[in-house]
Amino acid sequence: MEMIFDKSRPGRRCTRFSCADVPQAKAPDAKFLRRSACELPEVSELDVVRHFTNLSRLNFSVDTNFYPLGSCTMKYNPKFTEDLSRLEGFCRLHPILPQLKGGAARVQGALEVLYETECLLCEITGMDHFTLQPAAGAHGELTGVMLIAAYHRAKKRKRRYVIIPDSAHGTNPASAAIAGYEIINTPSNADGTMDLAALEEKLNDDVAAIMMTCPNTLGLFENQIDEIARLAHKVDALMYYDGANLNAILGHCRPGDLGFDVIHLNLHKTFSTPHGGGGPGAGPVGVKNKLEKFLPVSRVKKNHDGTFALDYNHPDSIGYLAHFYGNFLVILKAYAYILYLGREGLIRTARHAVLNANYVLARLKDHYDTAASRCMHECVLSAAPQTAHGVHALDIAKYLIDCGFHPPTIYFPLIVKEALMIEPTETESKETLDHFIDCMVRAACLAKENPEALKKAPLTTPVARLDETKAAREMNCASI
Ligand SMILES: *Cc1c(COP(=O)(O)O)cnc(C)c1O
């Protein structure tokens, strides 16, 4: 791949400025001037247009292809929410307005969207309050664990540990560690859910919280969740819910009713705002009443006269977690999506997501090892049988690229060898799933009959199989 810098030719230009017809400003102090040329590419307008148009055609997205990336809920993002987020009344608001004198009166619509989104998320999850500030799931986790720390601090006790199951997403231990806790890892049992006896051994009054995902990353509902919550609450450890997999249970059960005290959601997963490529996202955090006073400022409040305002009067708050009030336009898209689907639509969403994953699992279970015979919204297969022919999960993932699919998540969860984690989501048709399944079956056949063909994949991409470590460390295209 050529970079725009490779197209540079001395003196080639997109624009030339005409002579100034105003007096020249005084030159800035020499200490502010750069000492060497800035070495921008020297290219024509056509070079620029062609380069970036061609690059954009290499994009892979939900809008172009099936994207069954497990744990990421890459569902279709309806375009009407994009249209709404482009309305001038929303996208041209200045975030400082609500804090200016008389400013709140001019942003009532936006504040109402925030207020109502919090109410809807409370209703959907069974929590008492929400903050919409965090900008991603992991940011929400950090916020949540900081709230947990504030809770224990207010009770004048120091707790050292957070318990996390071995199937957890890596951000869980990372967030708890950043918030100052030591991590205790707890194993899954043969069914793939949390091992209750092992948990009981680790649980004592030095534990601040248990962080769980439900359904967990094996795509399985934690069927002993009420007992786990009871044990945690007995020692006043709090229950944290990683909501990345909420899509599986939408409208069917609520984390607040399952015994969780703090949760984060990924609006960019469950509530269909675009994601990938680093954002922007939104990771709202919901809490039970006992944690409310610690929530970040600012909070949106509804006044007695029905108007809305930002409220900073929360002396026990953990403070700001992000500028202003989070990624407003992302929140707006999720709000519109929730209202569009309504109660019945959200219930159907979960049903179809679970049905699609089970369909994939049922049709592939004779060709791959499986972590379980039934699943929730995603299924975890294993390419362990294929290793007998020297083929690994990575080879199958690369082959799927040639078939026109984004590969599933691989080598996660860590407790499944050669894991291939497939999350089809509710928005894919049976035809797409059948095509994907046929390719997965073909990959399993090739593993036996012609493993070299899998080892060479992908063949249809601009660059072939990369040395991924090298590609990440040496971002110089010439070397790949
Ligand atoms: C995606 C995910 C996260 C992290 O969320 P981000 O929005 O990517 O920061 C945490 N836990 C699980 C299980 C996830 O799938």
- 298 part of a folded domain: yes
392 token code pair: 């690994």
Instruction: Quote the domain boundaries for residue 206.
Output: 81-340
Same domain, 364 and 315: no
129: left (phi over 0), alpha (psi -120 to 50) or beta: beta
Q: What is d(CA 254, CA 153) in angstroms, rounded to the nearest whole number?
A: 28
Q: Residue 244 Cα, ligand 1 centroid: separation in angstroms? A: 6
Q: What is the pLDDT, as a whole number, of residue 120?
A: 98
Q: What is d(CA 432, CA 430) in angstroms, rounded to the nearest whole number?
A: 5
Q: What is the pLDDT, as a whole number, of residue 277?
A: 64
- 289 part of a folded domain: yes
57 token code pair: 């055609």
pLDDT tens figures, 442-469:
999 999 999 999 999 999 998 889 888 8
Same domain, 255 and 116: yes
Mean pLDDT of 242-265: 97
pLDDT tens figures, 381-391:
999 999 999 99
Q: What is the pTM of this model?
A: 0.90
- 221 part of a folded domain: yes
DSSP 212-267: EESS-TTS---TTHHHHHHHHHHTTPEEEEEGGGGGGTTTT--HHHHT-SEEE--H
Task: Specify the CATH number for the domain of residue 123.
Answer: 3.40.640.10
Same domain, 350 and 336: no
DSSP letter assigned to residue 462 = S
Q: Domain boundary at 299, 319, 340, which?
A: 340
pLDDT tens figures, 323-351:
888 999 999 999 999 999 999 999 999 99
Percentage of the chain modeled with pLDDT above 90 = 86
Same domain, 210 and 329: yes
pLDDT of 10 above 70: yes
> Which residue's alpha carbon is nearest to atom 6 within ligand 1?
137
Same domain, 97 and 131: yes
Q: What is the pLDDT, as a whole number, of residue 2?
A: 84
Grouping H, G, I as helix, E, B as strand and the rest as coil, residue 352 is helix
Same domain, 271 and 366: no
Structural element, H or E, at residue 381: strand 379-382
- 364 part of a folded domain: yes
Task: Specify the CATH number for the domain of residue 453.
Answer: 3.90.1150.10
Number of folded domains that form the chain? 2
223 token code pair: 């069927």
pLDDT of 479 above 80: no
Residue 480: is it exposed, middle or buried by C-beta count within 10 angstroms (0-12/13-18/19+)?
A: middle
Is the Cβ atom of 425 under 6 angstroms away from ligand 1?
A: no
- Per-residue pLDDT band for 477 (boundaries 50, 70, 90) equals low
Mean pLDDT of 6-20: 90
Same domain, 227 and 357: no
- 64 part of a folded domain: no
Q: Residue 275 Cα, ligand 1 centroid: separation in angstroms? A: 11
Mean pLDDT of 175-186: 98
- 198 part of a folded domain: yes
Same domain, 314 and 356: no
Mutate to test the pocket of ligand 1, among 169, 220, 414 (most ligand atoms within 8 A of CB): 169
pLDDT of 58 above 90: no
pLDDT of 105 above 60: yes
Same domain, 378 and 324: no
pLDDT of 15 above 60: yes
- Per-residue pLDDT band for 480 (boundaries 50, 70, 90) equals very low
Q: Residue 23 Cα, ligand 1 centroid: separation in angstroms? A: 55
Mean pLDDT of 359-374: 95
Same domain, 146 and 187: yes
Q: What is the pLDDT, as a whole number, of residue 323?
A: 81
Q: Domain boundary at 292, 318, 340, which?
A: 340
Same domain, 232 and 132: yes
Same domain, 312 and 389: no
- 447 part of a folded domain: yes
